[in-house]
Structure 1
Amino acid sequence: MTQNHVSRKSGYRDYSHTQGKVGKAAGRTSRDRARRELSQNFLVDSDAVESIVRVADPNGLVWEPGAGEGALTIALAQRGAHVIAYEIDPLPAGRLAARTRGHTGIRVVRGDFTRARPPREPFAVVGNIPFSATAEIVNWCLTAPALTSATLLTQREYARKRTGDYGRWSLVTVATWPWFTWELRGRVDRTAFRPVPAVDAAILRIDRRPHPLVGDRETFRALVELGFSGVGGSIGASLRTRFPKANAALAAAGIAPDTVVAYVHPDQWIALHAAIFG
């Protein structure tokens, strides 16, 4: 598992291609190679750490992916959270364990966060996550039954796409919208990291809704996937392949049949589901 880390004043997959090209002189030492292989970008800006903690507003149990040497770990614990800090790289994991030995609010786990079994009690996830494994970590969070929220430092492009900041909506966001909110909660300049990545980062906040907006997860997911199938180039064309009266349902939800699916707001999908399934 690739890891991004927080180091004083302190990303996992879809957007790894945006990282800068590495020259022949780079990656000479074993640590340099580890940083490249594990997608390590240490956060070295104390203001950025404070911003993440402020958005996370931690309390109770917090799981942290990619803890690194622990700047974010310690800041979370200082706010009163009980932190389970996951780190796959043995060197920073050892340093963090030694640094926090005796701290009752921190437990360091050397291992792959995405392979861990989530706790049964309510918990939050907070982390400066590896850019190269963003999809895996987000999916882990969305499928953890007791997760209450996730505050993740991701590539800014990823956060903007998932929160509709470009005016378009992704399949992942729409399919989970009845159960989770997605918010872009701040930008972190790339110069806040060492080594400096090729792109800026952003704070992505995902919250589980206390009351789901849709009762039937299976039919909602199937509807959204059909809409995003791309058949015919519009939401109406895609839905008519299964629902002959799709145009009437779309009208009830306030959606023009020729709308490109990415421009349909998640709330309109909920109204559309209600119009079709009652």
Structure 2
Amino acid sequence: MSDSHLLGPVEIRELADELAVTPTKKLGQNFVHDPNTVRRIVAAAELSPADVVVEVGPGLGSLTLGLIDSVAHVIALEIDPRLAGRLQQTVDTRAPQFSERLTVINTDALKVRAEDLDREPTALVANLPYNVSVPVLLHLLAEFPSIKRVLVMVQKEVADRLAAEPGSKIYGVPSVKAAFYGDVSRAGTIGKNVFWPAPNIESGLVRIDVSDERDRSLRDAVFPLVDAAFAQRRKTLRSTLASVYGSPAAAEHALRAAGIDPGLRGEALGVEDFVRLGQQRG
């Protein structure tokens, strides 16, 4: 990756001033202005030249410029019309040889559908807007089964939660739902000072290697079980899953049939346990 076309602090401020953009908490905007961090994210994603990357919230284009010279195509989903309207020009100016590799769509990533894209993404690489990071991640994994690799930057606390193992205090709904799609791992911590404006907290990189073996059709049976199991963390599965099965007795019967102790709490179950339960419902 050449450094010459990446954005630094000066270029970020100039672009923001030109567009009269003030980063907003409402949209979860924090712009990366450090080329080293961009290089680190792209390297951690381990992309191939054939990859089609979907990027959420490209902002002023820092990560877009880091991706565009190493993959086949970048599809950038940007909710802010001013930023969406400027991104192609930024790439045209700073990396003109890669201009045709970019598609910009002015849209809310939470509402995007497969038919909105003219090609199938194979990877999701993004500095996700903090306030909607988990919903966006899960929506895109559900909507695009073609995605095989995920590398996203989120709040450090959210990164820890996504990659948490069964039994830990931070293990919960996001951990299980992310693990439903594949192997989730932490890929590093990012300090505050690489952003403008600097957030109050550190960020974390999360990588997901998506599995081809999971039966996606089970999701609608599995996810309500996950939601119920963690709705009241102190209660046993016999109690929490009663809402799904109709009664504590029915929940206990289903749990025992799946080889799970009804006296356990939700945090004791791994994703495969929930999948076994879901297979019985399906």
TM above 0.5: yes
Structure 2 equivalent of residue 198 of structure 1: 200
Percent identity for Structure 1 against Structure 2: 25
Structure 1 equivalent of residue 84 of structure 2: 93
**Residue 73 and residue 235 in structure 1: after superposition, are their counterparts in 2 closer, same or farther (change >3 A)?**
same
- Whether 1:154 aligns to 2:154 is yes
Structure in which a larger fraction of residues adopt helix: 2
Deviation at 1:46, TM superposition (A): 2.1
Deviation at 1:195, TM superposition (A): 0.7
- Whether 1:259 aligns to 2:261 is no
Deviation at 1:226, TM superposition (A): 4.2
**Segments ≥4 residues shifted beyond 6 Å:** none
Structure number with the bigger relative contact order (C-alpha 8 A, sep ≥ 6) is 1
- Distance across 1 between alignment mates of 2:190 and 2:182: 23
1:41-120 equivalence runs, <5 A: 41-59=30-48, 60-101=51-92, 102=96, 103-118=99-114, 119=117
Deviation at 1:128, TM superposition (A): 0.9
Answer yes or no: is the 8 Å Cα contact 1:179–1:213 preserved in 2: no
Q: What are the ranges of 5 or more consecutive residues in structure 2 without an aligned counterpart?
A: 1-5, 10-19, 242-247
- Distance across 2 between alignment mates of 1:162 and 1:126: 16
Structure 1 equivalent of residue 137 of structure 2: 138
Look up the SS of the partner of 1:78 in the other structure.
Answer: coil
Answer yes or no: is the 8 Å Cα contact 1:214–1:270 preserved in 2: no
**Residue 245 and residue 96 in structure 1: after superposition, are their counterparts in 2 closer, same or farther (change >3 A)?**
closer
Deviation at 1:66, TM superposition (A): 1.0
Answer yes or no: is the 8 Å Cα contact 2:41–2:151 preserved in 1: yes
Structure 2 equivalent of residue 27 of structure 1: none
Look up the SS of the partner of 1:228 in the other structure.
Answer: helix
- Distance across 1 between alignment mates of 2:68 and 2:187: 21
Deviation at 1:277, TM superposition (A): 7.1
Q: What are the ranges of 5 or more consecutive residues in structure 1 without an aligned counterpart?
A: 1-5, 10-29
Query: 1:86-117: per-residue Cα shift (whole Å, max 9, x none)?
Result: 33334443443212224222233333333332
Deviation at 1:181, TM superposition (A): 2.8
- Distance across 2 between alignment mates of 1:248 and 1:184: 33
Deviation at 1:232, TM superposition (A): 7.4
Question: Mean alpha-carbon deviation: is it higher for 99-108 or for 171-180?
Answer: 171-180
Look up the SS of the partner of 2:198 in the other structure.
Answer: coil
Task: Report how many aligned residue pairs link the two structures.
Answer: 249
- Distance across 2 between alignment mates of 1:232 and 1:69: 44
Deviation at 1:152, TM superposition (A): 1.2
Look up the SS of the partner of 2:100 in the other structure.
Answer: coil
